[in-house]
A = this chain, B = another copy of it.
């Protein structure tokens, strides 16, 4: 059994790791870190997990003293890099769910986040999007788990961009996320009463997932690709629906998209390309590690509309983190991730 530790285990992504790993036959969670809940039983803080983790108690240990082989770091951006740096030096493996190692270009990271204290790790950190970096993940010591919005956007954009179906200029990403993306904390603007029956954009053209998307697109497709990214807050708990608008290259049809997506994703266990005329719904993927993709092309106007749906806490965070772990350790990639979505 692989011994794993979760740091930052009482946030939504930590919690979701606990939920998913409870079903994993090859893994045992030996440590769940939470400064806030230190000393309390996991089952007491999260009553829905009762029975799954009897005995496990939240700790606030120095990470370097925790005996585990693999660490899931679900700590805040800026905090994670210091901890990860220590763990890597100790020879541990890490799947980091923060943004700290996602962006390779240090100056870009520092412009959008803060000063980087472990830039020497950036080169070897592998961007944990298995559909495009699987081979490198296999041998990785440090996996930078992708952001939720980037996951939904990149799975949509990479195939048509790499295959030249769309122009790399003028790409618009109109994304809509459920509230769990804001994290598990007391905040007025995410109170139930404030969110229910509401809907609004936030940080238009200035959200910091933008540089992450741009860097991966540029890296994999060549050239310097920029996108215009506008996120919105959906009154649901889980889910991101991403609607991307891009200019078609001449002569490209719906059929071309269909063929390209299928070529890229035919053997992927978690990406489902929908039949023509069908479009994703976040409901169809809720609670699962799936990403659904649908397209609609208007050849006359030269416009492609590409749509993806993921569960932001699963494929957009903790599910993808477990998928990465499965790849790193040679477990079946769908291990603990093969239950169908909850549906209703």
Which A residues are closer than 8 A to B by beta carbons?
Answer: 12, 15, 19, 22-23, 44, 46-52, 170, 172, 174, 176, 178-180, 184-188, 190-202, 204-205, 226, 228, 230, 232, 234-239, 241, 243, 245, 272, 274-275, 278-288, 290, 292, 296, 298, 301, 303, 305, 307, 309, 313, 338-344
A226's partner among B50, B197, B296, B301 (CB-CB below 8 A) is B301
Q: Tell me the nearest residue of chain B to A18, going by C-beta.
A: B340
Given A47-B278, A191-B187, answer yes or no on A241-B303 (Cβ-Cβ < 8 Å): no
Shortest beta-carbon distance from A177 to chain B in Å: 10
Within the complex, the shortest CB–CB distance from A176 to chain B, in Å, comes to 6
Bound-state CA distance A275–B47 (Å) is 10
Contact in complex: B197, A286 (CB < 8 Å) = yes
- With beta carbons under 8 angstroms apart, the residue of B48, B283, B301 that contacts A284 is B48
Whether A199 touches B305, Cβ cut-off 8 Å, given contacts A15-B344, A188-B185, is no
Q: Are B191 and A287 in contact (CB under 8 A)?
A: no
A284 to B46 Cα, complex, angstroms:
8
- CB pair B180–A184 under 8 Å, yes or no, is no
User: Can you name 13 A-B residue pairings with CB atoms under 8 Å?
Assistant: A47-B278, A51-B290, A172-B245, A184-B193, A190-B191, A192-B235, A200-B282, A200-B283, A201-B279, A205-B303, A205-B305, A232-B241, A235-B235
Q: How far is the CA of A179 from the CA of B339 in the complex (A)?
A: 24
**Complex interface: chain B residues within 8 A of A287 (CB):** 287, 342
How many Å from the CB of A23 to the closest CB on chain B?
6
In the complex, which residues of chain B have a beta carbon less than 8 angstroms from the beta carbon of A342?
A: 19, 48, 286-287, 342
- Chain copies in the assembled complex: 4
Complex contacts, A279 vs chain B, CB 8 Å: 200-202, 204
Closest chain-B Cβ to A190's Cβ sits at a distance in Å of 5
Of B22, B49, B180, B198, the contact of A193 (CB 8 Å cutoff): B180
Shortest Cβ distance from residue A218 to the other chain B in the assembled complex, whole angstroms: 16
Which of chain B's residues have a CB closer than 8 A to the CB of A338?
23
Contact status B236-A198, CB under 8 Å: yes
Closest B residue by C-beta to A52: B340
* A19-B340, A46-B343, A186-B191 known; A282+B172 contact, CB < 8 A: no
User: Is B296 a contact of A204 with CB atoms below 8 Å?
Assistant: yes
B48 and A298 contacting across the interface, CB-CB below 8 Å = no
Contacting residues, chain B, for A187 (C-beta < 8 A): 186, 191
Contacting pair A243 B305 (CB below 8 A)? no
- Which B residues are in CB contact (< 8 Å) with A190? 191-193
Inter-chain CA distance A325–B46, complex, in Å, is: 30
For A49, give the chain B residue with the smallest CB separation: B340
- A163 CB to closest chain B CB, in angstroms? 22
- Asked if B185 and A285 sit within 8 Å, CB to CB, the answer is no
Specify which chain B residues have a CB less than 8 angstroms from the CB of A230 in the assembled complex. Answer: 243, 296, 305
Q: Which residues of B contact A202 (CB under 8 A)?
A: 279
CB contact under 8 A between A47 and B281, given known A193-B12, A205-B298 = yes
Q: How far is the CA of A340 from the CA of B48 in the complex (A)?
A: 7
Instruction: Given A205-B305, A305-B204, A340-B48, check contact A239 B197 (CB 8 Å).
Output: yes
